[in-house]
Amino acid sequence: MNKEEKLNLTLDEMIEAGQKMIHAATVIKEIFSETAEPEAKETVTPEEPKPEPQPAPETKTYTFQEVRGIMATLSGKGMKDEAKALLTKYGATRLSAVKEDDYSALVADAEALLNG
């Protein structure tokens, strides 16, 4: 056997050994991919929390007596003209003529005057 034949035989053995290594690596890869937990293909990003809608502020319901007390406070602090102007604003000349639906707005205006 000359050098050329020997080299040719050695190269064939190396190729065969390489193919066996590729086959062994493929088998090992298959074994581990069967037992490993599947990886998530897509990364799921958590949704940003949506801000909860703010409930509309509840309007306090005032009784006639409460409104009268607040208006009396206004008058007692020397603001009689302002108190009369508020009554006029709500279409009345007397507190008893103010609609109950307007009590909350009237109180808000009166408190704004009181708090300056």
Q: Which pLDDT belongs to residue 87?
A: 94
What pLDDT sits at residue 25?
Answer: 80
Alpha helices in 36-102 (DSSP H): 64-76, 80-89
CA of 94: how far to CAs of 2, 63, 74, 76, 85, in Å?
129, 16, 15, 17, 11
Mean pLDDT score of the chain = 84
What are 50-100's pLDDT values in tens digits? 777 776 666 788 999 999 999 999 889 999 999 999 999 999 999 999 999
- The percent of residues in the chain predicted with pLDDT above 70, rounded, is 86
pLDDT for the residue numbered 99 = 94
pLDDT at residue 100 in the model: 92
Higher pLDDT, 39 or 35: 35
